[in-house]
């Protein structure tokens, strides 16, 4: 997440190919759309487009909000898969109404909220987001001081792979993720090379194998994530984050900050979204809530809708507070 000030930066073919089937972000009476299933008294209230960014925690939040929009308020919900930066462009084109989990992005907020005025902040999700570098916990006991970045060059040879050559590998995920890794490696003079695994799944598989096979691994990851409840990981300590230490992307030499993740919506949706907008604004839960839904989606064979329904059935008091009066 997953994160920081620059985020996930890969467009992808499906990018705005989804525009062909979309008619903008207005929440209004759709022509010929079927009424959503669920609450029989709810009439089709309009269509809400929630972008799906490529990590399961985001999908968990999106599916819970989508389930309530459909089954409690009677909306039709579209969940187009769009990478982070491209999703912000969707506010301008009408292809996106909601980004349900935003990892900072001051640059995008300045561009789309302050300058273009096509988007608005819609409050915290309640989730606290942290990006960092991790190793399997067993390495801490075997290699003294390995969690201090100043000792990484001493142990860099442990992380060498065919992809990293004569340097230690730092395994990365989706190329669109928030990343300061190249700058950190350069500015901290580390004998490492970023190797792109390509996805969240590649990071998870790598971490699980490293734990089970006692195989050295240094990798980029983030919290909240269900993996921490199933795999013992240790975070590498980078120079502490201080205000402004990430302002210049080329000079970053500090750790990622803890982020209060928030929601971003299109200005059009805020103006015309009615109860759907109110629900999105009211939505807030914990890292534990998100991890429970994400775990069911990833490890328990549930679809996003099934996992959302399970959580909703068990947490009535929480989500009832989100429903507009």
**For residue 45, what pLDDT is reported?**
77
Question: In 79-223, at which residue ranges do the beta strands (DSSP E only) sit?
Answer: 98-102, 119-136, 168-172, 192-196, 219-223
For residue range 185-216, list pLDDT tens digits in order: 999 999 999 999 999 999 999 999 999 999 99
Q: Is residue 7 part of a domain?
A: no
**For residue 19, what pLDDT is reported?**
34
For residue range 64-103, list pLDDT tens digits in order: 999 999 999 999 999 999 999 899 999 999 999 999 999 9
Specify whether 134 is located in the same domain as 170.
Answer: yes
Run of H or E residues at 264: strand 259-266
Q: Which residues pair with 48 in a beta bridge?
A: 77
Domain boundary, last residue among 190, 216, 251: 251
**For residue 290, what pLDDT is reported?**
97
Tokens 């003079």, residue? 189
Q: Is residue 294 part of a domain?
A: yes
- H, E, C per residue of 290-322: HHHHHHHHHHCCCCHHHHHHHHHHHCHHHHHCC
Q: Is residue 8 part of a domain?
A: no
Higher pLDDT, 157 or 17: 157
Q: Is residue 278 part of a domain?
A: yes
**For residue 44, what pLDDT is reported?**
55
Q: What is each CA distance from 124 to 104, 283, 317, in whole angstroms?
A: 11, 8, 19
Mean pLDDT in residue range 292-310:
97
Specify whether 124 is located in the same domain as 136.
Answer: no
Specify whether 139 is located in the same domain as 193.
Answer: yes
Q: Is residue 68 part of a domain?
A: yes
Q: Is residue 5 part of a domain?
A: no
For residue range 20-39, list pLDDT tens digits in order: 333 333 333 333 333 344 44
CB burial of 164-186 (b: ≥16 within 10 Å; e: otherwise) equals: beebbbbbbbbebbbbbbbbbbe
Specify whether 21 is located in the same domain as 108.
Answer: yes
pTM recorded for the entire structure: 0.81
Specify whether 77 is located in the same domain as 147.
Answer: no
Specify whether 110 is located in the same domain as 151.
Answer: no
- How many domains is the chain built from? 2
Higher pLDDT, 276 or 85: 276
| CA-based nearest residue to 89, from 65, 119, 114, 61 | 119
Specify whether 45 is located in the same domain as 121.
Answer: yes
Q: Is residue 6 part of a domain?
A: no
Q: Give the confidence band of 178 by pLDDT, cuts at 50, 70, 90.
A: confident
Specify whether 143 is located in the same domain as 88.
Answer: no
d(CA 129, CA 44): 35
Higher pLDDT, 177 or 285: 285
Total length of the chain: 325
d(CA 124, CA 84): 17
Specify whether 119 is located in the same domain as 139.
Answer: no
CATH of the domain at 122: 3.40.190.10
Tokens 């009476």, residue? 29
Q: State the residue range of the domain holding 89.
A: 15-128+260-320
d(CA 303, CA 318): 22
32 Ramachandran zone, left/alpha/beta (phi>0; psi -120 to 50): left
Longest dimension (CA), the chain: 65
Domain boundary, last residue among 251, 286, 307: 251
CATH of the domain at 184: 3.40.190.100
Specify whether 265 is located in the same domain as 122.
Answer: yes
Specify whether 65 is located in the same domain as 169.
Answer: no
Domain boundary, last residue among 223, 251, 279: 251
């Amino acid at each position: 997440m997953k994160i920081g000030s620059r985020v996930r930066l890969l467009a992808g073919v499906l990018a705005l190919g989804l525009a062909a089937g979309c008619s903008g972000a207005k929440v209004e009476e759709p022509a010929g759309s079927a009424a959503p299933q669920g609450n029989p008294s709810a009439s089709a209230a309009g269509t809400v487009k929630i972008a799906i960014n490529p990590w399961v925690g985001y999908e968990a939040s999106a599916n819970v909000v989508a389930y309530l929009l459909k089954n409690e308020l009677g909306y039709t919900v579209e969940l187009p898969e769009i990478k982070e930066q491209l999703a912000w462009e969707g506010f301008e084109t009408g292809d996106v109404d909601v980004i349900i989990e935003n990892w900072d992005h001051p640059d995008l907020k300045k561009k789309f909220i302050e300058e273009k005025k096509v988007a608005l902040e819609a409050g915290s999700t309640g989730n606290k987001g942290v990006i960092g570098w991790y190793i399997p916990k067993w390495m801490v006991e075997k290699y003294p001081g390995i969690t201090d970045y100043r000792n990484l060059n001493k142990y860099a040879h442990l992380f060498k792979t065919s992809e990293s050559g004569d340097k230690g590998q730092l395994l990365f995920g989706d190329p669109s993720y928030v990343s300061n890794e190249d700058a950190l490696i350069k500015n901290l003079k580390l004998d490492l090379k970023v190797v792109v695994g390509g996805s969240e799944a590649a990071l998870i598989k790598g971490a699980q194998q490293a734990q089970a096979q006692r195989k050295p691994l240094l990798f980029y990851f983030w919290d909240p994530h269900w993996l921490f409840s199933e795999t013992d990981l240790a975070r590498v300590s980078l120079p502490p984050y201080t205000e402004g230490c990430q302002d210049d992307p080329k000079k970053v030499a500090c750790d990622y900050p803890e982020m209060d993740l928030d929601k971003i919506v299109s200005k059009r949706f805020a103006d015309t979204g009615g109860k759907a907008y109110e629900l999105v604004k009211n939505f807030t839960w914990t890292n534990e809530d998100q991890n429970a839904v994400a775990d069911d989606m990833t490890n328990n064979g549930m679809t996003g809708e099934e996992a959302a329904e399970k959580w909703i059935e068990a947490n009535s008091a929480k989500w009832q507070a989100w429903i507009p009066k």
